[in-house]
Amino acid sequence: GKPILEVNNLRVSFKMYAGEVQAVRGVSFSLNKGEVLAIVGESGSGKSVTAQTIMRLIPTPPSYIKEGSSVLFDSKHEITKMSESQMEKVRGQEMGMIFQDPMTSLNPTMTVGAQISEGIRKHQKVSKSEAMQRAADLLTLVGMSNASERIHQYPHELSGGMRQRVMIALSLACQPKLLIADEPTTALDVTIQAQIIDLLRDIQQKTDTSIILITHDLGVVAEMAHKVIVMYAGKVVERGTLNDIFYNPRHPYTWGLLRSVPRLDSDKNNELDSIPGTPPDLFAPPVGCAFAARCPYAMQICKEVDPEHFELSADHSSACWLLHPDAPKVDIPVEVGG
Ligand code: SF4
Ligand code: MG
């Protein structure tokens, strides 16, 4: 397929009193039309900053995109170089965003119908009543029954799951080419989570929208992603198809993530908490592999030289010295495909 998004050597830093935090340190990936790409990693891995930078939703300053970074959208918009007014158009007409907390993007003082129809009228010349009709259609599309009554309700009159559906409808109002969903189900209970994921997958298949899904939940990834990138300490440490990552993972951090997938029958918090240790301080990133301090396989070279990606196939690569031909052979220590 044709790429909708090509990210090349993206570097984003935050200027703080104490110095510079290197939140994203040379991220590259591409996303084809109609594909779902999941970005997984712990909080602080740079996954949200990457997504927000693609939409230019983080304030500059304190953050800034470093020289040499490129984010090419739809083969024509160089996001890193666009003015704020150009960017507003792209966001309003071609990209949609779904956040963890619907209340951050819903206006509490407007009915949901008014908000969605306003979104429609921002970039399509249609009458108010026509826009309202389309708003009702969108609410139906996202699985809300009696949409013609729902359009008159305010966000606070709806349940958390219903609000999330409204936000999805809102994000679809501009018929985006790219949808970015940042932890779209994290705040919801398990049953509602499953419904929202089904809904997103459904919409993706119906509309062929490209989606970037940011999540720490590998269960969600398995449900809908085609490709996966695993981020750690501001870098991509492994990239592959869904099958590569679940059935042939080749980075020790990915192994840790897979081991920490919660069992469906447990009510344990599903944060990734089973990898001992903490990510490095990005004020002063380590010289070698950023995972070395937590990695049971770390060798001397890991502490000295940051590994480049080793290619396993056209789609699959891992930034780990274990893939060097001279490295000791280790078995993949996770039960895969379970
Ligand atoms: Fe572990 Fe070394 Fe691989 Fe880093 S490069 S993940 S420290 S084995
Ligand atoms: Mg986040």
**How much is the pLDDT for 185?**
83
Q: How far apart are the first and last CA of the chain?
A: 30
Q: For 135-191, what is each residue's pLDDT tens digit?
A: 999 999 999 999 999 999 999 999 988 998 999 999 999 889 999 999 888 877 888
CA 321 to ligand 1: nearest atom? 5
Looking at all shown ligands, the one closest to residue 275's CA atom is 1
Which CATH architecture best describes the domain 31-58+79-94+178-323? 3-Layer(aba) Sandwich (3.40)
- Please give the distance, rounded to the nearest whole angstrom, from the Cα atom of residue 41 to the centre of ligand 2: 9
Distance, CA of 328 to CA of 323 (rounded, Å): 9
Q: Mean pLDDT, to the nearest integer, of 92-115?
A: 88
Q: What is the three-class DSSP state of 327?
A: coil
**How much is the pLDDT for 3?**
95
Distance, CA of 290 to CA of 307 (rounded, Å): 10
Q: Structural domain boundaries of the chain?
A: 31-58+79-94+178-323, 104-175
Give CA 212 to chain center in angstroms. 5
| pLDDT level of residue 271 (50, 70, 90 thresholds) | very low
Q: Give the chain as a 3 state SS string.
A: CCEEEEEEEEEEEEEECCEEEEEEEEEEEEEECCCEEEEECCCCCCHHHHHHHHCCCCCCCCEEECCCCEEEECCCEEHHHCCHHHHHHHHHHCEEEECCCHHHCCCCCCCHHHHHHHHHHCCCCCCHHHHHHHHHHHHHHCCCCCHHHHCCCCHHHCCHHHHHHHHHHHHHCCCCCEEEEECCCCCCCHHHHHHHHHHHHHHHHHHCCEEEEEECCHHHHHHHCCEEEEEECCEEEEEEEHHHHHHCCCCHHHHHHHHCCCCCCCCCCCCCCCCCCCCCCCCCCCCCCCCHHHCCCCCHHHHHCCCCCEECCCCCEECCHHHCCCCCCCCCCCCCCC
| pLDDT level of residue 337 (50, 70, 90 thresholds) | low
Looking at all shown ligands, the one closest to residue 45's CA atom is 2
| Interface predicted TM-score of the whole assembly (ipTM), two decimals | 0.94
Higher pLDDT pick, 323 / 193: 323
Higher pLDDT pick, 8 / 104: 8
**How much is the pLDDT for 138?**
93
pTM over 0.80: yes
Lowest mean pLDDT across 5-9, 227-231, 264-268: 264-268
**How much is the pLDDT for 262?**
60
**How much is the pLDDT for 270?**
46
**How much is the pLDDT for 268?**
47
**How much is the pLDDT for 100?**
79
Decide: 214 and 52 in contact? Cβ < 8 Å: no
Kindly list the protein residues whose Cβ atom lies closer than 6 A to any atom of ligand 1. Answer: 252, 289, 291-292, 295, 297-299, 302, 307, 320-322
User: Which amino acid residue places its CA nearest to atom 3 of ligand 1?
Assistant: 320
**How much is the pLDDT for 267?**
47
Q: For 164-179, what is each residue's pLDDT tens digit?
A: 899 999 999 988 999 9
Quick check: 264 pLDDT over 60? no
**How much is the pLDDT for 334?**
84
Q: For 285-301, what is each residue's pLDDT tens digit?
A: 999 999 999 999 999 99
CA 253 to ligand 1: nearest atom? 6
- Tokens of residue 42, six digits: 């712990």
Q: Mean pLDDT, to the nearest integer, of 232-254?
A: 97
| pLDDT level of residue 60 (50, 70, 90 thresholds) | confident
Distance, CA of 213 to CA of 193 (rounded, Å): 14
**How much is the pLDDT for 266?**
47
| pLDDT level of residue 336 (50, 70, 90 thresholds) | low
- Please give the distance, rounded to the nearest whole angstrom, from the Cα atom of residue 300 to the centre of ligand 2: 32
Average pLDDT, the chain: 90
